[in-house]
Amino acid sequence: MIRSRFITVLLFAIFISVYSLTPPAHAKEEGKLYVIGMGPAGPDLTAPKGLAVLENADIFLCPPYIQKNFPQYINPAKVAFDPWEGIHDEEAMKLRKTDYAKWLQRVEKRKKKVFNFVMDAINKKKTVVMLDSGDPCVYGPSLYWLLKGFDYKYLEVIPGISAFNAASAALKKPMIGEGINFVMLTAPHSMFGRSFEKGDDLLKDLSGYNVTMVFYMAISSMDRLVEKFSKYYPPELPMAIVYYAGYSEKEKVLKSTLGKILDDLKKTDEKWMGLLIIGNAVK
């Protein structure tokens, strides 16, 4: 009897000791901001780690189209606002082309709103998630525009499948391999400037190598791109556009060449949702 009581008391003491050292599951030491790459389409191409974070998020910052693609993971009642409202809609894109300085003022104003809101939530030990399409580190706007300079102590980035990954899969081709020197990810405005007045020296140098060139946001300026490339490349240069990369019902591949691409583009009405890939990899 004495031994039985001793064992009971000992087990109880061990339980109390362990429980006192283990914080409750719901307790949070501090708040945090996650930037999550949601992939190019929906949950099928989103990292499981990212989806797990969504389930425990207190607050969402995301545009309506992402919320629509993830209804089972995003509680509408937890969506605070669209961080891109006023700076990435159709009207804002027109302003960006006509008055870039004024557009930047909008971005700065939005950046301050996001920063103040997120830090207030973090100070209240909330978990905030900002959702980017694709991979936030590959032409994802959150890190570059709204979170530039944000304290890394409170930030974690969860990568996603980029449009480049999805487009490569759609082409069923390796983007680098025998004879290909490297893969270059860029955009027309990054390489040539918004007025297409620079980049010729770089493009001329690249023409001496076997390179896979990937252009984001390129379809709307294909005429300018063809003009640039025609100076240094033959008409037979392989080109491909993958429309809606990663969208199983919308995905479409257009294979062409430098000399034919403008005529082939007339066969489709889509002017934005496509990734341009140039080089021997897309033959």
Per-residue pLDDT of the chain (283 residues; tens, 9 = 90+): 444 444 443 444 434 344 344 444 444 578 999 999 999 888 989 999 999 999 999 999 999 999 999 999 999 999 999 999 988 877 888 888 888 899 899 999 999 999 999 999 999 999 999 999 889 999 888 888 899 889 999 999 999 999 999 999 999 999 998 789 999 999 999 999 988 999 899 999 999 999 999 999 999 899 999 999 999 999 999 999 999 998 888 999 999 999 999 999 988 888 778 999 999 999 8
DSSP H helices in the chain: 2-21, 48-55, 64-69, 90-98, 100-123, 141, 163-171, 188-192, 200-206, 222-229, 261-265
Report how far residue 42's alpha carbon sits from residue 273's, in angstroms, rounded to the nearest whole number: 15
Which whole-number Å values give the CA distances from 170 to 28, 40, 173, 182, 256, in the listed order?
42, 12, 8, 20, 15
Report how far residue 125's alpha carbon sits from residue 121's, in angstroms, rounded to the nearest whole number: 6
Entry pTM: 0.82
Report how far residue 132's alpha carbon sits from residue 148's, in angstroms, rounded to the nearest whole number: 15
Reference 229, options 209, 210, 206, 263; nearest CA is: 206
Reference 117, options 129, 105, 100, 101; nearest CA is: 129
Tokens 């490569």 found at: 168
Report how far residue 162's alpha carbon sits from residue 138's, in angstroms, rounded to the nearest whole number: 7
Note the pLDDT tens digit of each residue in 6-49. Answer: 444 344 443 434 434 444 444 457 899 999 999 988 898 999 99
- 32-161: CATH topology is Cobalt-precorrin-4 Transmethylase; domain 1 (3.40.1010)
Contact indicator for 245, 251 with CB cutoff of 8 Å:
yes
Tokens 């020296």 found at: 201
Tokens 């430098």 found at: 258
Task: Cite the residue boundaries of each domain of the chain with CATH code 3.40.1010.10.
Answer: 32-161
What's the confidence (pLDDT) of residue 139? 86
What's the confidence (pLDDT) of residue 7? 42
How far is C-alpha 188 from the geometric centre of its chain's CA atoms?
Answer: 18
Task: Cite the residue boundaries of each domain of the chain with CATH code 3.30.950.10.
Answer: 164-282
What's the confidence (pLDDT) of residue 42? 86
Rg value, the chain, Cα: 25
Which CATH number does 164-282 carry? Answer: 3.30.950.10
Report how far residue 31's alpha carbon sits from residue 12's, in angstroms, rounded to the nearest whole number: 34
What's the confidence (pLDDT) of residue 272? 78
Torsion, Cα of 222, 184, 279, 269 (10° steps): -30
Backbone angles phi, psi at 123, to 5 degrees: -65, -20
Note the pLDDT tens digit of each residue in 7-17. Answer: 443 444 434 34
Contact indicator for 186, 276 with CB cutoff of 8 Å:
no
